[in-house]
């Protein structure tokens, strides 16, 4: 993002009132807010209650990656995230034709590839873990896939690669040696980070409390992800490895999403990517439309992103099972944009906010932001 006094002054003139359509797009351009969507947000949705898919009743619905890119563009979103497995053939090798097809579609629809998410959980061989699997042969295979994903990210044109270790963790007490599992995870991240550094990509891990693992996932919190990144960077040199923040995951374990951004900045851990969505406090990973939950919390989070100088992509990570995909993605962008506008309005009056904070008067703090939260 780019925030200046001149830009902030336009919030009460050119960008006054609720933003949508062309005015919303102009606002994103003005403040250089980069917004993306995961390709999965534009595709078919499955869950254990409907394993055949929620869109199979639509005779015109197609779920190729090119169709997904087209829907992202139709929603007015400029960036897209991918999973590496989209670019693998039936033998797990890189599919050159698929990369070419996707790059052609990205150029045609003028959509920017942003982040590559490494998928080492849907293949059933990874059911007991990817890079922390107790079987050394499977650990090796998972690491090879991760390294291959970095190559795919570089060839597709992404700026970063993320590892959400969906199957790495435990379901039962005593199931794993926690220390050994963490060692394996760090060792794997060192190798992935070295490869990412070699090709000029950022690398980060995405934390989540649980689900699909029902005990804990190996990297259950952003604080733990930060510790891993700190050690990996010490081994590799530099600060290439960071953390990929998921707004909904932060709420799952009851932490304050905004506070995590200041924590990461304080300890010098970069944020490599943002996922935005909605989940209820201490809930499962609902991945609902952004901005449909606690607006105070979301605006606080957006304010923290501005105040800590985040300059990367915000990406929708949502599964809107019963809502048409283009409409859902458009709404997420729209509601997120209006929350970000509120945060910028508060940032424009940050001296007043800091004065209220320093007074120790909670009421004064609420008075400083209440009108913006509800009407800005």
Per-residue pLDDT for the chain (376 aa), expressed as one digit of tens each? 999 999 999 999 999 999 999 999 999 999 999 999 999 999 999 999 999 999 999 999 999 999 999 999 999 999 999 999 999 999 999 999 999 999 999 999 999 999 999 999 999 999 999 999 999 999 999 999 999 999 999 999 999 999 999 999 999 999 999 999 999 999 999 999 999 999 999 999 999 999 999 989 999 999 999 999 999 999 999 999 999 999 999 988 888 999 999 999 999 999 999 999 998 777 788 999 999 999 999 999 999 999 999 999 999 999 999 999 999 999 999 999 999 999 999 999 999 999 999 999 999 999 999 999 998 7
Class (C level, CATH) for 5-375: alpha beta
Quote the DSSP letter at residue 270: P
Instruction: Please name the residues in contact with 146: beta carbons below 8 A apart, sequence gap of 6 or more.
Output: 118, 120, 130, 131, 163, 188, 191, 192
Q: What is the pLDDT of residue 281?
A: 75
Q: What is the pLDDT of residue 88?
A: 98
Both tokens assigned to 324: 């048409």
Q: What is the pLDDT of residue 274?
A: 96
Write b or e for each residue in 228-267: b if 16 or more Cβ atoms lie within 10 A of its Cβ, otherwise e: bbeebbeebeeebbbbbbbbbbbbbbebebbebbebbbee
**Model confidence, pTM:** 0.96
Q: What is the pLDDT of residue 36?
A: 98
Q: What is the pLDDT of residue 283?
A: 79
The residues pairing with 337 across neighbouring beta strands, listed in sequence order, are none
Q: What is the pLDDT of residue 254?
A: 84
Beta-strand ranges (E) seen in the chain are 34-38, 79-83, 112-118, 160-163, 169-170, 202-206, 216-217, 241-246, 271-276, 313-316
Q: What is the pLDDT of residue 280?
A: 79
Spatial separation of the C-alpha atoms in residues 319 and 17, rounded to whole Å: 29
Q: Which of 180, 145, 185, 141 lies closest to 165, judged by CA? A: 185
């Amino acid at each position: 993002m780019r925030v200046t006094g001149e830009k902030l002054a336009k919030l009460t003139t050119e960008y006054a009132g609720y933003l949508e359509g062309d005015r919303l797009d102009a606002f994103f351009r003005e403040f250089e807010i980069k917004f993306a969507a995961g390709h999965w947000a534009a595709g078919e949705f499955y869950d254990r209650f409907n394993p055949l898919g929620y869109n199979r009743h639509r005779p015109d619905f197609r779920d190729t990656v090119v169709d997904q890119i087209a829907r992202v563009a139709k929603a007015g979103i400029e960036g897209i995230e991918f999973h590496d497995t989209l670019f693998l053939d039936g033998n797990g090798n890189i599919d050159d034709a698929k990369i070419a097809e996707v790059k052609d579609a990205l150029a045609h629809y003028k959509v920017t590839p942003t982040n590559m998410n490494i998928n080492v959980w849907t293949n059933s061989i990874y059911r007991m873990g990817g890079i922390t699997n107790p079987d050394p042969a499977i650990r090796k295979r998972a690491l090879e896939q991760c390294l291959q994903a970095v190559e795919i990210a570089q060839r597709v044109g992404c700026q970063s690669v993320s590892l959400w270790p969906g199957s790495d963790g435990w379901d039962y007490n005593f199931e794993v040696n926690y220390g050994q599992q963490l060692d394996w995870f760090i060792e794997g991240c060192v190798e992935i980070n070295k490869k990412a550094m070699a090709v000029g990509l950022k690398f980060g891990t995405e934390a989540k409390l649980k689900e699909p693992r029902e005990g804990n996932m190996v990297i259950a919190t952003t604080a733990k992800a930060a510790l891993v990144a700190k050690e990996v960077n010490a081994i590799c040199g530099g600060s290439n490895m960071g953390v990929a923040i998921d707004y909904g995951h932060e709420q799952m374990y009851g932490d304050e999403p905004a506070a995590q951004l200041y924590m990461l900045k304080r300890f010098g851990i970069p944020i490599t990517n943002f996922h935005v969505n909605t989940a209820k406090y201490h809930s499962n990973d609902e991945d609902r439309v952004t901005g449909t939950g606690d607006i105070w919390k979301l605006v606080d989070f957006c304010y923290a992103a501005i105040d800590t100088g985040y300059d990367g992509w915000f990406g929708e990570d949502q599964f809107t099972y019963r809502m048409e995909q283009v409409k859902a993605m458009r709404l997420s962008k729209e509601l997120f944009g209006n929350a970000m506008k509120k945060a910028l309005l508060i940032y424009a009056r940050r001296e007043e906010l800091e004065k209220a904070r320093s007074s120790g008067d909670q009421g004064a703090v609420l008075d400083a932001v209440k009108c913006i939260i509800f009407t800005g």
